[in-house]
Structure formats: structure tokens, C-alpha cells
Amino acid sequence: MHLVQDLLFLLLLSITLVQRCSTKALVHEKSEKIDNTTDQDYFSVSAIIERANKNAGKSNRGFTIVDGDIAVNTGLQNADRCTSSTCKWHKSGNGKVYVPYVISRQFSSSEKNVIEDGLKSFGKLTCVRFIPREDEKDYIFIKSDVGCYSYVGRQVGEQVLSLDRKGCVFFKVIQHELLHALGFHHEQSRSDRDEHVKILYENIEPGKENNFKKYDTINLNTTYDYNSVMHYR
């Protein structure tokens, strides 16, 4: 059931990418993912990312991790992310949005297969096509760094998307980080989130309040999705 919900979520999100593009509902092929028979809280996307990112923000690498798994350049933590056309991946003449990528040689063949399953899943229901990079200037470099993280939207040149081999190479986590790279925020950052969830600011660690910021998102009359792969729990 959750897999179906996630696929429907991807279909809705595709409408907001760059410009409208036609999509066709396709059946998702079986791929490696989190075992649904185990404790869903322990294996939720947010729980996996939280465990993997315990040390993600502690090294000085020229960027900071905010909102749990979003990379921003140091000094720009308070800036709105992906609010201009420059961070959007462009639509080609045939109506498709092609996003070049490179997968690091750090990953084993089985890990690479899981990553490629996540990349291909977008082509099932959306106009997005992740393609191996040839000589494109802007592209996503998928590597195993400390933790799971991604920038929001298209950056200039190589942009790192981290899938730590120690805890991030899961189908839903891969989809989650790729959605960030396409320009999407967390579900609980939607402009209408206060109508659906309550943020207990008194329980937030001092200095981390900005991680619970709302964004002026375009929701296209879609309902708030508590089961979204982009919703933290």
C-alpha cells in the first residue's frame, strides 16, 4: 500500500516540475526496498536518515546540513532554497526533463542496482528521465559521503547527492534525496502545513528552529500526504 501511495505522490509532484509535462501511469516493477513486514517507525525514511545523519553536519566541507538532510552552502542557512528559475531542471523540446547523473565507483554492483532502480522509478510515472552524464555541465554526482543528503534543485556544475553506504542505500531514501535534487522540500514544509500538523517549538533544540520553516510551495490543490516519502515522522 505504501509503495502505491509513494508512486501516486511522484505522479502528483511531477506536475510541478519546471513546466507541465504529460505523464503515463505505469506499473512499478519490483525492486529492492525496505521490508514492509518490520516496524514501520524504525524503517521510515525519516528514521533511516536521522540515524545516518548523526555525524553528517560535524565536518567542515563548505556546506551545512539543514532540515535533516538538505545541503546548503555555508552562510546561506537562512536563505530560501530553490525559489528561482535558475534552480529548475529544464524541459526539452520533446516534453521530457533530462537530469544527468554520475554514480561513484564507491558503490558495489548490488548497491548500484538499488540506486538505478530509484533513478528509473521516476520514468515510470513522470516526465523526468535521469540519464548517465556525457558532457553536461550541470549534473548530479551520487556518492557515499557521511550521511544522506542533497541540495534542493539544480545547482551549477557538479552537485553532490550523498547516499552513505553505511545506512542510506534504500529505495525510498534514494527517491527522497532525488526529489530534493529535483527541487522539492519536505511535506511538512508545505505552505499549508499548519492546517495539518502542529510544530511543538518548545521541543526544538535551541538554534534549530529554522529547520522547521515553511516555504511558499505550489500545492496544486493536492491533499496533505502524511504517508509521503517526503514527510518526516
Q: Quickly count: other Cβ atoms within 10 Å of residue 160's Cβ.
A: 18
pLDDT at 115: 98
Out of 32, 50, 111, 177, pick the active-site residue: 177
pTM of the model as a whole: 0.74
167 HSE (CA, 13 A, CB side) = 19
DSSP per position, 31-51: -----TTS-TTTTSHHHHHHH
Domain ranges of the chain: 2-212
Q: How far apart (Å, rounded) are the C-alpha atoms in residues 52 and 125? A: 29
**For residue 160, what is the DSSP state?**
E
What pairs with residue 149 in β-bridges?
A: 162
185 is known to lie in a ligand binding site: no
With vertex at residue 86, the alpha carbon angle to CA 215 and CA 186, rounded to the nearest 5 degrees, is: 30
Q: Are 170 and 48 in contact (CB under 8 A)?
A: yes
- What are 135-142's contacts with CB under 8 Å, separation 24+? 136/100, 138/100, 139/99, 139/100, 139/101, 139/102, 140/99, 140/100, 140/101, 140/102, 140/178, 140/181, 141/101, 141/102, 141/104, 142/101, 142/102, 142/103, 142/104, 142/115
- Residue 139, phi then psi, degrees to nearest 5: -160, 165
pLDDT value of position 98: 98
177 is catalytic: yes
pLDDT at 233: 62
| Residue 196 annotated as part of some ligand binding site | no
For the cut 60, the answer to whether the pLDDT of residue 91 exceeds it is: yes
pLDDT of 83 reads 54
pLDDT of 136: 97
User: Is 231 annotated as ligand-binding?
Assistant: no
Per-chain mean pLDDT for the chain: 76
Backbone angles phi, psi at 100, to 5 degrees: -70, 150
User: Over the stretch 21-80, which tens digit does the pLDDT of each residue have?
Assistant: 532 322 223 233 333 334 445 678 888 988 998 877 655 577 888 888 889 886 555 455
- pLDDT one-digit tens code per residue, 182-197: 988 876 667 677 777 7
Class for the domain spanning 2-212: alpha beta
